[in-house]
Amino acid sequence: MIATLLIQHEKLEQLPSGGTLSPYGVHQKHGQITSQALQLLSSQRRQFSNTYISVKLDETSGVAVMKLKRPPVNSLNMELLTEFAINLEKLEIDRGCRGVILTSAVPRIFSAGLDITEMCGKNADHYGEFWRAVQEMWLKLYGSSMVTIAAINGSSPAGGCLMALSCDYRIIANNKKYTIGLNETQLGIVAPFWFKDIITEVIGHRAAERSLQLGMLYSPTDALKIGLVDEVVAEDKVQSTASAVMAQWLTLPDHARQITKSMMRKPSLDRLVTHREADITNFVSYITRDSIQKSLQMYMEMLKKKGR
């Protein structure tokens, strides 16, 4: 533990005080994350696989490929979110890692977003803990000092889209069947302010407002038109393009790029960090409303019927 903290301190010291993104949430974790972190941090160093995440770090390039592997749809439940935050933190403190490519091991799906079953029929304590884990994932990913590239090899609604939006660059496979967007209103729920902030940062106010109000899901080419993704490439070129773009980004000196990234992202990160507890309270009181529970249950039933 002491060794881990020292390594982290050294890596953070490379940036001027206030210039690093990494401290967000790092040591504000609840007990569950901390004890799991200790187990994971002591495991094998360059390749690790947990229940729902696999990570391969190429020591030569300094690039890690992080894959979501929770079939059938990579929905983000508490365990996956926790593993994600821990693994990203592990890479963050590893001096040999400068970039992360985020992708999916599940065919045709990047991520179906938050696991709706985590937001239905549970008690307030559960919802609070779940939302803290969602926040933690976002603070770690959006606040990462590494180069982060989303290799979107399948559909990516809602929380899946949030993950992609939190990366530095987005490459999506050219397949009309794949959709991406923040579709929360279609579920009868509201995307929280930090989801709204990040999509606004990426696509601008007008497009974000329309997109959020209508809960729009875009095909890859339409997503490219509004700037929701940076590139659309053939399905079999997603990973190689991600590697090539990563190599290009890594030609920049880390120090200059990291401080610039921090400068751009700090206001949004600060907003959530400052209002974190209020955001949890707000989520819990919102999600426990009867009308919201009913909407989510109806949406789940609709999904199940469609699947039959």
Residues lying near ligand 8Z2 in the complex (CB under 6 A) are found at 72-73, 75, 109, 112-117, 155, 157-159, 183-184, 187, 189-192, 282-283, 286-287, 303-304, 306-307
Say how far apart CA 101 and CA 94 lie, in whole Å: 15
- Type and span of the H or E element at 221: helix 220-225
Nearer to ligand 8Z2, 114 or 199 (CB): 114
Nearest CA to 161 out of 152, 174, 148, 149 is that of 152
- Type and span of the H or E element at 88: helix 78-92
Say how far apart CA 96 and CA 59 lie, in whole Å: 6
Catalytic residues: 114, 159, 183-184
- DSSP letter (8 states) at residue 116: G
Closest separation between CB of residue 283 and ligand 8Z2, Å? 5
Nearer to ligand 8Z2, 25 or 181 (CB): 181
Q: Is 70 in contact with 106 (CB distance < 8 Å)?
A: yes
Chain CA centroid to CA 226, Å: 20
Closest separation between CB of residue 74 and ligand 8Z2, Å? 8
Helices 276-287/290-307 angle, 10° precision: 70
Nearer to ligand 8Z2, 48 or 127 (CB): 127
- Which residue number places its CB atom closest to ligand 8Z2? 113
Closest separation between CB of residue 125 and ligand 8Z2, Å? 17
Closest separation between CB of residue 275 and ligand 8Z2, Å? 12
Closest separation between CB of residue 49 and ligand 8Z2, Å? 22
Nearer to ligand 8Z2, 26 or 139 (CB): 139
Nearer to ligand 8Z2, 73 or 172 (CB): 73
Closest separation between CB of residue 14 and ligand 8Z2, Å? 34
- Per residue, the 3-state secondary structure of 44-58, as one string, reads CCCEEECCCEEEEEE
Say how far apart CA 299 and CA 96 lie, in whole Å: 44
Q: Is 143 in contact with 265 (CB distance < 8 Å)?
A: yes
Nearer to ligand 8Z2, 143 or 192 (CB): 192
Pairing verdict, β 147-152 and 169-173: parallel
CA distances from 102 to 153, 184, 204, 212, 304 (A): 10, 22, 24, 24, 28
Say how far apart CA 41 and CA 265 lie, in whole Å: 27
